[in-house]
Amino acid sequence: MTDVTSSARDIAASVRAGRLSARDIVAETLERIERLDKVLNAFTHIGAERARVEAERIDAAVAAGNDPGPLAGATFAVKNLFDIEGVTTLAGSEINAAHPPAASDATAIRRLVAAGAIPLGALNMGEYAYDFTGENCHYGPSRNPHDPDRMSGGSSGGSGSAAASAMVTFTLGSDTNGSIRVPSSLCGLFGLKPTFGRLSRAGTFPFCASLDHIGPLARSAADLALVYDALQGPDPDDPVCTDRPAEPAAPALEGDAAGLRVSVAAGYFETLAEPVALAAVARAAKALGAKRMLEIPRAQEARSAAYVITASEAAALHRERLAARPMDFDPDVRDRLLAGALAPAQWYVRAQRFRAWYRRAVLKLFEDTDIVIAPNTPTTAPAIGQKTFTLGGQEMPVRANMGIFTQPISFIGLPVVAVPVAGVSDMPIGVQVIAAPWREADALSIAAALERDGVARSTIADPTETHA
Amino acid sequence: MTDETFPSERYVLLAAEAAGIDLPPELRAAVLQHFAILAEHAAHVMAAGLDDDIEPAPVFRP
């Protein structure tokens, strides 16, 4: 039976057929959020009135015999760096709380609402997206539904927490260095970081313009593809958004992925991964029959270059705020931004030049492979408040290093589907399914194949049963 | 410019002063630590040899 925890595909089918009303979905969803968010702290704004208005519109369309859209009745919430009309865009900060409410929705929200999805509000995140933990000193940490004493991952922490607990059908996040993929891994979700420039970022608060992406988090590959398809299309309001027409991915998901050549990332991607992360890669690779190991050249330098570009651009963005009111920042973010503000320009330029070299070198690899499987997070979710962890025998800060395997991939904008791998650990962990630029559909079809085989699975977690 | 030779502390304090960024004493240790990590990453990047014809990645379309 379809209910508010069902997939977007099933909810939309029921709503379009008149078997389920959007009004009832919203009422039940608000009750579920009320119960679960006391534990998880995923939401910073619950848009009940807006949700009821959108639900009435959908039910009216069905009653009139009109099609309310492919996502009809599916509920969603967004990382609070997306503009929601009438709501102040926090970007995880206290400073931006003084800003006026957004005058209009971000492009992504407009497109999802046009497809029949119902917005439920804004989600907690690491301040200004400079984070891999989901912690936030102003609003508290968003918590992992599989164990609320553990991190949700960041910086789209609330997006991971809300989707994995089925407070909403799916969520939106942003990913500059791994901020969709890390919460997807730690919370056991499918997440899509599309090709750089594929999806419009218009109406989102930036972090690092050279590397910022947006994308969805969901509990199945099919839902991820449905949402992704609704988000696609050119947008003159985002200068890096592609003019390529939409290339729908959902229709191809049921197809045979066996024709795709799959390799496994070696070298850098093996050295710092904990056994649990390598076990997830091995399980996915075995299911796909992938035996070829592939070394991505100079991945360590790529990660370092992404680090330098991020620090430099983010610090430049926040320059005036850092000078005027440094003590109003989250200390964990402020100190990194202050360091970035002092970086010599030649570091930044060399990093951007290296990016061009690395892009060329990695694209060459895709002449002989279609998909690369790599670890996502190096380990499962650390405890909330944990500052360091040990990887490959080295103690290092959690906040800066949970993305060691995601950074070298987003650095050149390759599309990645984060896939949760079942049966390797009590806590969730995922892998990255990486494709060539503009080949999101290939990565999604691999994710769907792994899900059909039972190797990939997202499980709804309800922590109120044990932590009420 | 490598991690070993880059004079992080002296550079950070002078650069902050020159840029008009106040670094109160209670923040210095953390900022220096983060700058040292950043300098280590930059050292990897600066050590990566690149031909002169490799231009920066961003493309500006007028």
Residue in B48, B19, B30 with CA at minimum distance from that of residue A347: B48
DSSP-based three-state secondary structure for A253: coil
- Count of Cβ atoms closer than 10 Å to residue A181 Cβ: 35
Q: Across the interface, which of A336, A344, A352 has its CB nearest the CB of B56?
A: A352
Q: Across the interface, which of A300, A307, A322 has its CB nearest the CB of B38?
A: A307
Task: Give residue A258's pLDDT band: very low, low, confident or very high (50, 70, 90).
Answer: confident
By DSSP bridging, strand A388-391 and strand A190-193 are: unpaired
Helices within A394-457 (DSSP H only):
398-401, 407-410, 440-452
Task: Give residue A1's pLDDT band: very low, low, confident or very high (50, 70, 90).
Answer: confident
- Asked whether A144 and A151 are in contact (CB, 8 A), the reply is yes
Give B4→chain A minimum CA distance, Å.
16
- Asked whether A161 and A431 are in contact (CB, 8 A), the reply is no
Task: Give residue B1's pLDDT band: very low, low, confident or very high (50, 70, 90).
Answer: very low
CA distances from B22 to B15, B25, B27 (A): 10, 9, 10
What residues in chain B have their Cβ under 8 A from chain A's Cβ atoms? 11-12, 15-16, 19-24, 27, 30-31, 33-35, 37-38, 40-42, 44-48, 50, 54-58
Token pair belonging to A273: 């991964």
- Tell me which of B34, B37, B55, B59 to substitute to probe the interface with A (most A C-beta atoms closer than 10 Å): B34
Quote the CA–CA distance of A192 and A221 in Å, as a whole number: 9
Identify how many contiguous H helices and E strands chain B contains and give both numbers. 2, 0
**Average pLDDT, integer, range A243-257:** 91
Q: Which helix (H) or strand (E) holds B10?
A: helix B8-19
By DSSP bridging, strand A388-391 and strand A371-375 are: unpaired
C-alpha neighbours within 13 Å on the C-beta side of residue B4: 1
A379-413 pLDDT, tens per residue? 999 999 999 999 989 999 999 899 999 999 999 99
The pLDDT of residue B59 is 67
Could you give the maximum distance between any two Cα atoms of chain A, in Å? 64
A263-320 pLDDT, tens per residue? 999 999 999 999 999 999 999 999 999 999 999 999 999 999 999 999 999 999 999 9
Catalytic residues of A: 79, 155, 179
- Tell me which of B37, B41, B52, B53 to substitute to probe the interface with A (most A C-beta atoms closer than 10 Å): B41
Q: Which range, of A69-78, A184-193, A459-468, averages the lowest pLDDT?
A: A459-468
- Asked whether A385 and A454 are in contact (CB, 8 A), the reply is no
Residue in A216, A157, A220, A222 with CA at minimum distance from that of residue A192: A216
Is a pLDDT exceeding 60 seen at residue A468? no
Predicted TM-score of the model (pTM)? 0.97
**Average pLDDT, integer, range A168-185:** 98
- Asked whether A207 and A129 are in contact (CB, 8 A), the reply is yes
Q: Across the interface, which of B24, B38, B58 has its CB nearest the CB of A308?
A: B38
Amino acid symbol at A396: M
Whole-number percent of chain A with pLDDT over 70: 99
Quote the CA–CA distance of A109 and A115 in Å, as a whole number: 10
Q: Do A339 and B34 touch (CB under 8 A)?
A: yes
ipTM metric:
0.93
Quote the CA–CA distance of A344 and B6 in Å, as a whole number: 11
Beta strands in A108-212 (DSSP E): 118-123, 143-144, 147-151, 170-175, 190-193
DSSP string computed for A339-394 = HHTT--HHHHHHHHHHHHHHHHHHHHHTTS-SEEEEESSSSSPPBTT--EEEETTE
Q: Which helix (H) or strand (E) holds A292?
A: strand A292-295
Quote the CA–CA distance of A107 and A171 in Å, as a whole number: 15
| Contacts B17 to A, Cβ<8 Å | none
A317-373 pLDDT, tens per residue? 999 999 999 999 999 999 999 999 999 999 999 999 999 999 999 999 999 999 999
